[in-house]
A and B are shown apart, each in its own frame.
Chain A
Amino acid sequence: MSKRVTIDPITRIEGHLRVDVEVDGGKVKKAWASGQMWRGVENILIGRDPRDAWAITQRICGVCTTVHAFASVRAVENALQLEIPVNAQYIRNMIMLAHAIHDHIVHFYHLSALDWVDVVSALKADPKKAASLAQSLSNWNNNSEAEFKKVQEKLKGFVGTGQLGIFTNGYWGHPAMKLSPEVNLLATVHYLQALEVQRYANKIVAILGSKSPHIQNVAVGGVANPLSVDSQSVLTVERLLAVKEWIDKLDDFIKNVYLIDVAAIGAFYADWTRYGRGITDYLSVPDIPLDGKGTQFALPGGYIEGGKLESHKPIVTFGDKYFVDGVSEAIKHSWYDYAGGNDVSLHPYKGETKPNYTDFQDNGKYSWLKSPTFYGKPMQVGPLSRVLNMLAAGHEPTKKYATAALDLVSSLAGTKVGLDAMHSTIGRHAARAVGCAVQSDELKNQWNLLLANMGKGDLKTYNKPTFPKGEQMGVGFHEAPRGVLSHWVVIDSGKIKNYQCVVPTTWNAAPRNEKDQSGAYEACLLDNPVADPEKPLEVLRTVHSFDPCLACAVHVVDQENNPVVTVKAA
Chain B
Amino acid sequence: MAVVVLGIGNILLTDEGVGVRAIEALEQDYVLPAGVNVIDGGTCAMEMLEQLENLDALIVVDCVRHGQPPGTPVLLKGEDVPVFFKTKLSPHQVGLCDVLASLRFTERAPKHTAIIGIQPESLALGMDLTPTVAARLPELLAMTVAELRSLGFDVRRRS
Interface residues of A (CB under 8 A from B): 9, 11-16, 36-38, 40-41, 43-44, 56, 59-63, 65, 102, 106, 110-111, 154, 158, 163, 165-166, 192, 195, 198-199, 202-203, 205, 212-214, 550, 552-562, 564
Contact = CB atoms under 8 A, between A and B. Distances in A.
A158 B105 CA distance: 8
B83 A559 contact: yes
B16 A559 contact: no
15 contacts: A9-B91, A12-B93, A12-B94, A62-B44, A62-B92, A110-B102, A165-B102, A212-B48, A554-B92, A555-B90, A556-B89, A556-B120, A557-B62, A557-B84, A559-B76
B43 A62 contact: yes
Interface of B: 8-13, 16, 39-51, 62-67, 74, 76, 80, 83-84, 86-95, 98, 101-102, 104-106, 117, 120, 123, 125-127
A43 B13 CA distance: 12
Contacts of A555: 8-10, 16, 43, 89-92, 95
B16 A554 contact: yes
B90 A557 contact: yes
A367 B92 CA distance: 18
Contacts of B80: 559
Nearest to A196: B106
A212 B39 CA distance: 8
Nearest to B120: A556
A452 to B, nearest CB: 30
Binding site secondary structure of chain A: loop
Interface of B is mostly: mixed
Given A14-B92, A41-B125, 17 more contacts: A12-B93, A59-B10, A62-B45, A62-B94, A195-B102, A198-B49, A214-B44, A553-B10, A554-B16, A556-B63, A556-B64, A557-B65, A557-B84, A557-B89, A558-B65, A559-B64, A559-B67
B105 A165 contact: yes
Contact of A554 (B45, B74, B87, B91): B91
Given A166-B101, A560-B87, A561-B87, A195 B49 contact: yes
Contacts of B125: 38, 40-41, 43-44
A59 B11 contact: yes
Contact of A561 (B10, B83, B95, B101): B83
A198 B46 contact: yes
Contact of B94 (A13, A43, A60, A557): A13
Nearest to A550: B91
Contact of A213 (B41, B84, B102, B123): B41
A162 B75 CA distance: 28
B92 A166 contact: no
Given A195-B102, A212-B51, A61 B43 contact: yes
A110 B49 CA distance: 13
A202 B102 contact: no
Contacts of B91: 9, 15-16, 36-37, 550, 552-555
Contact of B10 (A106, A111, A154, A554): A554
B12 A41 contact: yes
